[in-house]
Structure 1
Amino acid sequence: MRIPPLYRNSNWQRLFAGMAVGGCISWIIFLFMFGVMQERNSVIMQEQTNKIRELQSDIKIWQDDYKELNEKNEEMLTIQKIKVELTNYEKYDIKDSQSIHTVQDAIQDDLRSLLAKDLATVYKNKEIIEKAIENKIVKINGKKYEFVIREIHYYTTIHIEIELRLAD
């Protein structure tokens, strides 16, 4: 068996030559289109990278400003409220809630001058506040009581926990 002598036929030669030339031309067109598309994508990616860097630097600037403002605001905190809590009154059989409430109000009235004061100033004078409370003697149901401070929390609300003790 023999291969037919088609290589001598010029029609077949033109067909194969056209296929080879067409393949090369289409490959060149494909490479050109792919290159243009990749270049466009790399430009877009570079722009996005630059924008991300800018936004990250903006975020850092905003965060620094936010922290600075928070620090300034904390420095300018003022006392808004005073809460007094009386403990261990059950030990002395004081069941009159009116008396307890009156004592708490009296202490709050004594400390009312601290309202709207700077938190740092109030904290610096904490010994004076403690002595003012502890030196106070109150008469409840015919007995004299003095106060002992157990806890004081200083923030926009001053929370004071006080114990009763019989005065000598």
Structure 2
Amino acid sequence: MRIPPFYRLPSWQRFFAGMVVGGIISWMIFLFMFGTMHEKQALKIEEQKNDISKLKNTLSYLQEEYKQLNQENENELVIQEVKIKIINTTKTKVELLSIHETEDKLSEDLRSLLTKDLETVYGNKELIKKIIENKTVKLNDKNFRLKVKEMYFYTTTQITLELKYEDD
């Protein structure tokens, strides 16, 4: 088998030379286009990295500032309301109206806690407990003592009390 002698004909020589030159030119165009596209993408990635680092720095700064503001606000919390709840009314068989009046009276006695700093009131919780437990309440011609079951301190202070006969 023999290869035909096309290399001797000038028209075929021009065709093959054109193919080679066209291949080289197309390869150069491809390299140029790929290089510019790659350069644009690398530039875009670099800009995005810079934006991400700036946003991370801003986010960390804002988070620190947010934590600091929360801490300051928490330090400035004050008592806005005092709620008293008396339980154990079924064992003592006391009227609900008398219980409600006693709760109102105790709320009035503890009115001095309003607008006080939360830390100060929490620091004096034993004093508040002693003040409440040393009171004797007269309901239905019987004397009762109050015992503190639970105390929750926040902007609304909740105190749960239990009625006990003074004899106990």
- TM-score w.r.t. the length of structure 2 is 0.96
AA paired with 1:107? L
The offset of 1:134, in angstroms, is 0.6
In structure 1, distance between residues paired with 2:128 and 2:116 = 13
The 1:3/1:126 distance shift into structure 2, 3 A limit, reads closer
CA deviations on 1:51-87 (whole Å, 9 max, x unpaired) are 1000001000000000000001111100011111101
For residue 79 of structure 1, what is the aligned residue in structure 2? 79
Identity rate, percent: 50
1:102 aligns with 2:101: yes
CA deviations on 1:96-150 (whole Å, 9 max, x unpaired) are 2111100110111100110111001111111221111111111111101110101
1:88 aligns with 2:79: no
In structure 2, distance between residues paired with 1:155 and 1:53 = 40
AA paired with 2:133? E
Q: Tell me how many residue pairs correspond in the alignment.
A: 167
For residue 147 of structure 1, what is the aligned residue in structure 2? 146
The offset of 1:33, in angstroms, is 1.0
For residue 117 of structure 2, what is the aligned residue in structure 1? 118
AA paired with 2:79? I
The offset of 1:19, in angstroms, is 0.7
- TM-score w.r.t. the length of structure 1 is 0.96
- Unpaired runs of 5+ residues, structure 1, are none
Q: Secondary structure at the match of 1:111?
A: helix
In structure 1, distance between residues paired with 2:141 and 2:26 = 111
The 1:20/1:143 distance shift into structure 2, 3 A limit, reads same
Runs of 4+ in 1 over 4 A off after TM superposition: none
AA paired with 1:122? V
For residue 133 of structure 2, what is the aligned residue in structure 1? 134
The 1:136/1:7 distance shift into structure 2, 3 A limit, reads same
In structure 2, distance between residues paired with 1:123 and 1:8 = 108
For residue 17 of structure 2, what is the aligned residue in structure 1? 17
For residue 43 of structure 1, what is the aligned residue in structure 2? 43
AA paired with 2:140? N
AA paired with 1:6? F
The offset of 1:5, in angstroms, is 2.6
CA deviations on 1:26-64 (whole Å, 9 max, x unpaired) are 101110111011001101100110110000010000000
For residue 63 of structure 2, what is the aligned residue in structure 1? 63
The offset of 1:4, in angstroms, is 3.4
- Unpaired runs of 5+ residues, structure 2, are none
